[in-house]
C-alpha cells in the first residue's frame, strides 16, 4: 500500500465490504437476476432493452450500450452528480459508518501493516515446519486422526506452535512482533502467545495471512484461542475459510456457515466447499455483510443443543436486515451431541447432505422461535409472541418483503392461535402422527428415564422415532413422564378401535348382520379405554 494514499483508501475498502453493489444500484434501477448477473435499463442513457449488468461477486456494473463501468462509489458519484467525498459520505450513511478524517496516511502505519503481514507469513512457515518435527509429532498425529491428509495440511498451511518461545526467540528483532499478537511481554521478556497448539492460519479476502487460531491438544478449554485484534486483523469482521470458499459460494449459489474451523475445513473438503465459520465468536453484522456480498443464500448449520439453538436465534435476528426477496436463508441442526466433522466421519457425505437439504427456511424458523419461547396457549403469551415477531419484522429493509412476512404470520396466527374451537367434555389427545413436539418429548423421556424406555420398549418401538434426535427442553419428573407415555399409548389404542369400528359399521351398512356382535365388543373396549384415559388425566 503506497504511503501517499489517504485514510479513505481503507475506508472505501470497508464500504465495498459492507455494501452490495446490487443493493446500491438497485435503489434506483429495477434489477432482474439472469444467470450470474443482475440486469436493468441503464440510468446513464435512454434504452428500452436492458443492457446494464451488475455483478454481485465482483462488485462492479457495466453497460454494454454506453460503456459505463465502475463500482458503488463511481455509480453514486455519477448518478447523484456528486464528488468523491460526497459520494462516500452518502454510502457511509447507508452502511452506518462514520466518515474518517481526510488526511494522508501516516507512513509509519503503512510500514507497520506491511511488517505485520511479513511477520504472520514467516510465523506460518515456522509453524508448518515444526509440525513435521519430533516436537510436533503429537500435533501431527492429532491432525491425521482428525482426517487431515498431508495434502490438506499443506493446502490450509496447518502447523504447530511448540511449548517453547520459538517466535519470540526467532523474530526478536522484528519491530512489530508485539503488535502482531503472536507474542506478549512480561517482566522476564517476550513470550509466545501460542504454545503447544495446532495452528490454523487465518487469511484475509486477498489470501494473505493476517492472524492465527490455535487448537488445544491436551483437552484444555477454551478449545480455540485466536490472535487478538491487530491493525490487519479484526475478528468480528473476518470469516474463516472465505478465501477458499469464495468461488464455490458463487458456483453453489449459497453459503454454509458452521461453528468451528475444523468443521469448516472438513465440510470444504468433503463435498461442501461453500462452507465458512466465524472465529470463536458469535456471528456479527460485519460477518453477515461480508457474506451477503458474495451471496444472500445462507444455510446456518449449528449443533442441536441449547447453545446451538441460541446461536441460531441470534443469527436469525442479525440476518433480518439483510433479507431480500431473492434470499434463501435456512437453519440446519446437527443432533446427538455431534458436529459436522463427526457426522462426515460416521454417516458420510450423504448423511451431512440430508441435514443441509432438510434445513428449515427462515420464515418457519422464526415462527418456531415465537412458539417455543412464549406460551402461545395463553393470551399473554400470544401477545408476547406477536411483539417478538413484530420487532423482528421491523428489521426487514424491503417493505414489500416485510408485508409478505406479515401476511404469512397473520394467517398462521389466525389458524394456530386465535381460531376459536369448542372444547369437548371428554379428554382428547389427538395424535394421529408423532409430530415434532411429541417426538421431542419422547426423546427427552427416553434420555432422562431409561428405566421407562425399557419398560415401554415394545410400544415406543412402534413409533419409528430416532431417539438420537433433538430433545425438548422440559422438567418432567418420572411420574409425569410415565403418565405421558401411558396416555399416548391409550390414545393410540383408541385410534385403532375407532378405525376398526368404522370398518365394521361399513360392513353392517352393506348388509352383513354378522358384525353386530363385533361392533358391540369394540364399543365396550372404546368405553373402557376412554375411562382409563379420563382417570389417568385426573390423577
Q: Give the sheet arrangement for strand 298-303, strand by strand.
A: 275-276, 255-257, 298-303, 329-334, 360-361
Nearest in space to 240 (alpha carbons), one of 270, 272, 200, 294: 200
- Confidence grade of residue 281 (pLDDT, cut at 50, 70, 90): low
First to last CA, the chain: 77
* Number of other CB atoms surrounding residue 103 within 10 Å: 9
- pLDDT at position 8 is 57
Pairing mode, strands 37-40 and 255-257:
unpaired
Domain annotation covers residue 418? no
Expressed as residue numbers, the domain containing 66 is 8-95
- pLDDT at position 458 is 73
Total number of domains constituting the chain: 4
Hey, CA dihedral for 309, 147, 143, 120, is it positive or negative? negative
Domain annotation covers residue 56? yes
Whether residues 224 and 242 fall in one domain: no
Local structure of 422: helix, strand or coil: coil
Domain annotation covers residue 3? no
- pLDDT at position 423 is 42
Q: How far is it, in rounded angstroms, from Cα 235 to Cα 211?
A: 9
Q: Give the pLDDT confidence of 344-358 residue by residue, as tens digits.
A: 988 889 999 999 999
Label residue 110 exposed, middle or buried (CB < 10 Å: 0-12, 13-18, 19+): middle
Q: Give the domain CATH number at 58.
A: 3.90.580.10
Nearest in space to 319 (alpha carbons), one of 372, 282, 275: 282
Does pLDDT of 103 surpass 90?
Answer: no
Whether residues 212 and 254 fall in one domain: no
Q: Which grid cell is 390?
A: 413484530
Whether residues 204 and 244 fall in one domain: no
Whether residues 167 and 60 fall in one domain: no
> CB of 356 within 8 A of CB of 256?
yes
Q: Which grid cell is 184?
A: 506478549
> CB of 384 within 8 A of CB of 354?
no
Whether residues 248 and 195 fall in one domain: no
Whether residues 112 and 224 fall in one domain: yes
Whether residues 294 and 328 fall in one domain: yes
**pTM of the shown model:** 0.62
Pairing mode, strands 298-303 and 329-334:
parallel
Q: Give the domain CATH number at 112.
A: 3.90.980.10
Q: Give the pLDDT confidence of 6-49 residue by residue, as tens digits.
A: 445 567 877 887 888 888 998 888 898 887 789 999 998 888 88
Most confident of 33-42, 130-139, 506-515, 518-527: 130-139
Q: How far is it, in rounded angstroms, from Cα 131 to Cα 136?
A: 4
Whether residues 226 and 246 fall in one domain: no
Q: Give the domain CATH number at 249.
A: 3.40.1360.10
CA 512 to chain centre: 61
Domain boundary among 48, 71, 95: 95
Amino acid at each position: 500500500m503506497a504511503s501517499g494514499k489517504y485514510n479513505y483508501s481503507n475506508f472505501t475498502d470497508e464500504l465495498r465490504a459492507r455494501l452490495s453493489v446490487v443493493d446500491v444500484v438497485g435503489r434506483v434501477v429495477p434489477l432482474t437476476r439472469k444467470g450470474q448477473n443482475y440486469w436493468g435499463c441503464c440510468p446513464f442513457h435512454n434504452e428500452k432493452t436492458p443492457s446494464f449488468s451488475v455483478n454481485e461477486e465482483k462488485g462492479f456494473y457495466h453497460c454494454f450500450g454506453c460503456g459505463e463501468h465502475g463500482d458503488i462509489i463511481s455509480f453514486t458519484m455519477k448518478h447523484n452528480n456528486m464528488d468523491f467525498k460526497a459520494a462516500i459520505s452518502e454510502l457511509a450513511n447507508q452502511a452506518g459508518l462514520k466518515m474518517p478524517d481526510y488526511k494522508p496516511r501516516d507512513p509509519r502505519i503503512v510500514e507497520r501493516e506491511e511488517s505485520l503481514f511479513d511477520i504472520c507469513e514467516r510465523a506460518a512457515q515456522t509453524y508448518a515446519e515444526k509440525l513435521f518435527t519430533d516436537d510436533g509429532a503429537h500435533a501431527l498425529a492429532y491432525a491425521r486422526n482428525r482426517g487431515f491428509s498431508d495434502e490438506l495440511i499443506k493446502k490450509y498451511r496447518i502447523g504447530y506452535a511448540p511449548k517453547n518461545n520459538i517466535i519470540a526467540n526467532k523474530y526478536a528483532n522484528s519491530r512489530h512482533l508485539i503488535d502482531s499478537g503472536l507474542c506478549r511481554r512480561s517482566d522476564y521478556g517476550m513470550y509466545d502467545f501460542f504454545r503447544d497448539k495446532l495452528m490454523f492460519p487465518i487469511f484475509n479476502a486477498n489470501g494473505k495471512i493476517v492472524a492465527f487460531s490455535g487448537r488445544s491438544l491436551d483437552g484444555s478449554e477454551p478449545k480455540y484461542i485466536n490472535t487478538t485484534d491487530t491493525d490487519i486483523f479484526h475478528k468480528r469482521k473476518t470469516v474463516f475459510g472465505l478465501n477458499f470458499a469464495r468461488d464455490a459460494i458463487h458456483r453453489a449459489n449459497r453459503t454454509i456457515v458452521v461453528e468451528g474451523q475444523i468443521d469448516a475445513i472438513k465440510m470444504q473438503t468433503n463435498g461442501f466447499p461453500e462452507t465458512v465459520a466465524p472465529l470463536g465468536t458469535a456471528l456479527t453484522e460485519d460477518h453477515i455483510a461480508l457474506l451477503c456480498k458474495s451471496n444472500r443464500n445462507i444455510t446456518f448449520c449449528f449443533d442441536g443443543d441449547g447453545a446451538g439453538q441460541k446461536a441460531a436465534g441470534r443469527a436469525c435476528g442479525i440476518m433480518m436486515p439483510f433479507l431480500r426477496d431473492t434470499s434463501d436463508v435456512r437453519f440446519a441442526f446437527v443432533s446427538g451431541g455431534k458436529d459436522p466433522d463427526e457426522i462426515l466421519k460416521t454417516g458420510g457425505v450423504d448423511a451431512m447432505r440430508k441435514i443441509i437439504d432438510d434445513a428449515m427456511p427462515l420464515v418457519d424458523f422464526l415462527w418456531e422461535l415465537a412458539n417455543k419461547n412464549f406460551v402461545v396457549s395463553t393470551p399473554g403469551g400470544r401477545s408476547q409472541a406477536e411483539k417478538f415477531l413484530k420487532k423482528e419484522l421491523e428489521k426487514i429493509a424491503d417493505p414489500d418483503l416485510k408485508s409478505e412476512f406479515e401476511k404469512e404470520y397473520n394467517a398462521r396466527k389466525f389458524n394456530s392461535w386465535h381460531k376459536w374451537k369448542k372444547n369437548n367434555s371428554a379428554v382428547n389427545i389427538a395424535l394421529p402422527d408423532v409430530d415434532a413436539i411429541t417426538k421431542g418429548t419422547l426423546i427427552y423421556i427416553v434420555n432422562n428415564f431409561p428405566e421407562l424406555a425399557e419398560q415401554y420398549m415394545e410400544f415406543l418401538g412402534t413409533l419409528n422415532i430416532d431417539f438420537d434426535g433433538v430433545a425438548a427442553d422440559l422438567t418432567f419428573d418420572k411420574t409425569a413422564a410415565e403418565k405421558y407415555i401411558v396416555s399416548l399409548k391409550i390414545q393410540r389404542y383408541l385410534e385403532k378401535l375407532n378405525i376398526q369400528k368404522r370398518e365394521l359399521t361399513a360392513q353392517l351398512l352393506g348388509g352383513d348382520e354378522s358384525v353386530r356382535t363385533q361392533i358391540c365388543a369394540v364399543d365396550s373396549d372404546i368405553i373402557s379405554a376412554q375411562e382409563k384415559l379420563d382417570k389417568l388425566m385426573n390423577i
